[in-house]
Amino acid sequence: DCVEFCNKLSESEGLEKAYLINGREVQCNFASDGYRLPTEAEWECAGRGGESHLYSGSNNIDDVAWYDENSDGVSHGVGQKKANGFGLFDMSGNVWEWCWDWWDDESEDYSSSPTEDPTGDSTGPGRVSRGGGWNCDARDTRLSDRDWYYPSYRCNDQGFRLSRTIR
């Protein structure tokens, strides 16, 4: 659903689609100027916002995130908490955000990844999700936390953030 949305939005704005979709097989053209899911590395860079905090924009979770202790069991409109150093809101808490990368079962570190513009493994059990959601505890909303879900997974604590390659 996310990659189809990205392609439709790209087309509506006259941009080159980022995804070639053939049934359940999806390829990303990172050279396109269309909308796409961020890679996990892009998501983490954006979430950190040029700062060194546990959460996106603060070491105090209540400043920046909707999570199980303050969300009243629902997601909230974007921008009601403090932004991070790049001016981005809700990268910790509120909803998990899909990334392009497949989950790597072999390693949770990045030691085998390219150091410039990594795009993740080409296969895996599921796609990476970052940021935590409104129903997560504080630990799961830290910038360092990661999880994965099957690409067909749908839930009210799952969302996505758009990215584009700018050259």
Chain segment 109-134, per-residue pLDDT in tens: 555 555 566 666 677 889 999 999 99
Give the confidence band of 166 by pLDDT, cuts at 50, 70, 90. Answer: confident
Contact between residue 116 and residue 30 where contact means Cβ atoms under 8 Å apart: no
Sign of CA dihedral 34, 113, 145, 59: negative
pLDDT of residue 117: 66
Q: What is the dihedral of CA 132, 134, 137, 143, to 10 degrees?
A: 30
| pLDDT (tens digit per residue) in 9-68 | 999 999 999 999 999 899 999 999 999 999 999 999 999 999 999 999 999 999 999 999
Average pLDDT over residues 77-89: 97
Secondary structure letter of residue 101 according to DSSP: E
